[in-house]
Structure 1
Amino acid sequence: MIILYFFLAHWFLSLFSQTFFLHRYSSHKMFKMNKFWERFFYLLLLLSQGSSFLNPRAYAILHRMHHAYSDTVKDPHSPHFFKDVFGMMIATKNMYLAYLLHKIEPEPAFRGNYPEWPIIDKIGDSWLWRLACAAFYIWFYVTFATQWWMFLLLPIHFLMGPLHGAIVNWCGHKYGYSNHDNDDHSKNSLPWDFLLMGELFQNNHHKKPNSPNFATKWWEFDPTYPLMKAMHWLRIIKIRKA
């Protein structure tokens, strides 16, 4: 049971950091927060994603491109231009690294207004950090695993951040239903959306990209939105009007 709790904690903490900080804050600026809380959630991103830390600047650039060029040849991760999810992940990784290392620069429309913390970015992108986190995951499993099959979960820990992105980008543009005609292939994927904290409401999100609530129908539920409302009420963040 300890392994199960550890896996679920890592899955949902990493996922929360991705949808709340990388997606809704870094990419879309759906809410404001002061420097203290920005640094707090930056550190949470580093710790929760661990060996699969994603740089907020590079993430924001790719995500803004994805919205501007959704499901066209200029979309950095549309599943409709790849034979399988692994090809999409590799292509996305290569473009991500190109922006991360400043080998290419984004179009002016995709620049700026994202959080940056150079020392944390340097730590998170270092092989020392990634290998140290991977070593911790392995130690935890060696110490607490009670069945051999539990070790099959380790690769998910190693690649947690990119894996979440791959699931959302592949499934969210191939499978499910549409509430809106967005001139792309974006879909909503209930009930699996609950496991992705709202991220699989892709069709809704592409219709209203600046709305903090990814659910648009009364019977849909975005699990991250109530957390944001609570933080807004506690004055940790200030949600902007869509």
Structure 2
Amino acid sequence: MYILLFFIAHWFSSLFFQTVFLHRYASHKVFTTSKFFERILFLMTYICQGSSYLNPRAYATMHRDHHAFSDTEKDPHSPHFFKDVFQMMWATVLTFRDHVKLSKEKSIKGNPSYPEWPIIDRIGSSIASRLVFGGLYTWFYIEFATHWWMFLLLPIHFLMGPLHGAIVNWCGHKYGYSNFNNNDHSKNTTPFDFLMLGELFQNNHHRFPNSANFGHRWFEVDPIYPVIKFMHWIHLIRLRKA
């Protein structure tokens, strides 16, 4: 029971900060916030992603390339140029490394378009930090796993962030239905997207990339949108008009 609860908590906490902070805030600026709350989101992203921490600026610049060149040869992770999801993931890793290097070069001058916190980026991206988090995950499983099959879930913890991205980029551009012709292969993989917190409404998102609500039709419920609306209501953030 403890293992399954831990897995679910890690899955959704990591995904929550990936979609709210890295995707909707860092990449698309669907809302503004204070520097203090930005740092809270930054720190929680590092803690919840743990061993798979993703540099926010590099994530944002790569994701903006994805939108600019969606499903073309310049798209950093279109599934239509790879034989399987593993090839796409490896290519994405290499491209992400290039964006991390570029982020380090440009962060010297600073840019308000991207959230930056150099010390967290250095710590989170370090091998030592990734090993510490990996060790904590492993210890938890050794301590609380009651069946051998539970250890099959352990590798997912190590790569939680990239796995979320791979699921969204592969499924969201291959499987499902379309509400709009976006001149790409973006799809709404499922009309009910609780598992990926609205991220699989890719066709809607590519049509309205700066909208805080990834759902569009009455039955397409983006579970993150009410949370963002609540944070707007209590003045933690300010939503921008799409």
TM-score, normalised by the number of residues in structure 2:
0.96
Q: Given residue 173 of structure 1, which amino acid in structure 2 is its aligned partner?
A: H
Residue 30 and residue 103 in structure 1: after superposition, are their counterparts in 2 closer, same or farther (change >3 A)? closer
- Is the contact between residue 212 and residue 225 of structure 1 (CA under 8 Å) also seen in structure 2? yes
Q: Displaced runs of 4+ in structure 1, greater than 3 A? A: 103-106
The answer for the alignment partner of 1:236 in structure 2 is 236
Report the Cα distance in structure 2 between the residues aligned to 1:224 and 1:40, rounded to whole angstroms. Answer: 18
Report the Cα distance in structure 2 between the residues aligned to 1:92 and 1:21, rounded to whole angstroms. Answer: 20
The answer for the alignment partner of 1:180 in structure 2 is 180
The answer for the alignment partner of 2:28 in structure 1 is 28
Q: Describe the superposition over 1:90-126 as per-residue Cα deviations: whole angstroms up to 9, x where unpaired.
A: 11100110121239989xxxx8601000000000000
The answer for the alignment partner of 2:4 in structure 1 is 4
- Is the contact between residue 62 and residue 96 of structure 1 (CA under 8 Å) also seen in structure 2? yes
Report the Cα distance in structure 2 between the residues aligned to 1:216 and 1:87, rounded to whole angstroms. Answer: 32
Report the Cα distance in structure 1 between the residues aligned to 2:193 and 2:94, rounded to whole angstroms. Answer: 27
Report the Cα distance in structure 1 between the residues aligned to 2:112 and 2:94, rounded to whole angstroms. Answer: 21
Report the Cα distance in structure 1 between the residues aligned to 2:192 and 2:83, rounded to whole angstroms. Answer: 23
The answer for the alignment partner of 2:142 in structure 1 is 142
- Is the contact between residue 192 and residue 219 of structure 2 (CA under 8 Å) also seen in structure 1? no
- Is the contact between residue 192 and residue 220 of structure 2 (CA under 8 Å) also seen in structure 1? no
Report the secondary structure of 2:222's partner residue: coil
Report the Cα distance in structure 1 between the residues aligned to 2:98 and 2:205, rounded to whole angstroms. Answer: 26
**Deviation at residue 76 of structure 1 after TM alignment:** 0.3
Report the Cα distance in structure 2 between the residues aligned to 1:9 and 1:173, rounded to whole angstroms. Answer: 27
Q: Given residue 148 of structure 1, which amino acid in structure 2 is its aligned partner?
A: W
Report the Cα distance in structure 2 between the residues aligned to 1:51 and 1:195, rounded to whole angstroms. Answer: 21
Report the Cα distance in structure 2 between the residues aligned to 1:4 and 1:32, rounded to whole angstroms. Answer: 35
Report the secondary structure of 1:176's partner residue: coil
Q: Given residue 26 of structure 2, which amino acid in structure 1 is its aligned partner?
A: S
* Percentage identity across paired residues of the two chains: 65
**Deviation at residue 189 of structure 1 after TM alignment:** 1.4
Report the secondary structure of 2:194's partner residue: helix
The answer for the alignment partner of 1:19 in structure 2 is 19
Q: Describe the superposition over 1:164-223 as per-residue Cα deviations: whole angstroms up to 9, x where unpaired.
A: 000000000000000000000000011562100000000000000000000010111001
- Is the contact between residue 30 and residue 210 of structure 2 (CA under 8 Å) also seen in structure 1? yes
Alignment map for 1:136-215 (pairs within 5 Å): 136-191=136-191, 193-215=193-215
The answer for the alignment partner of 1:220 in structure 2 is 220
Residue 191 and residue 217 in structure 1: after superposition, are their counterparts in 2 closer, same or farther (change >3 A)? closer
**Ranges in structure 1 where 5+ consecutive residues have no aligned partner:** none
Residue 239 and residue 130 in structure 1: after superposition, are their counterparts in 2 closer, same or farther (change >3 A)? same
Q: Describe the superposition over 1:131-159 as per-residue Cα deviations: whole angstroms up to 9, x where unpaired.
A: 00000000000011111000000110000
Report the secondary structure of 2:212's partner residue: coil
Report the Cα distance in structure 2 between the residues aligned to 1:103 and 1:28, rounded to whole angstroms. Answer: 17
Alignment map for 1:95-114 (pairs within 5 Å): 95-102=95-102, 113-114=113-114
Report the Cα distance in structure 2 between the residues aligned to 1:181 and 1:118, rounded to whole angstroms. Answer: 40
The answer for the alignment partner of 1:62 in structure 2 is 62
| CA RMSD between the two structures | 1.5
- Is the contact between residue 70 and residue 184 of structure 2 (CA under 8 Å) also seen in structure 1? yes
Report the secondary structure of 2:195's partner residue: helix
Q: Given residue 86 of structure 2, which amino acid in structure 1 is its aligned partner?
A: F
**Ranges in structure 2 where 5+ consecutive residues have no aligned partner:** none
- Is the contact between residue 192 and residue 200 of structure 1 (CA under 8 Å) also seen in structure 2? no
Q: Given residue 197 of structure 2, which amino acid in structure 1 is its aligned partner?
A: M
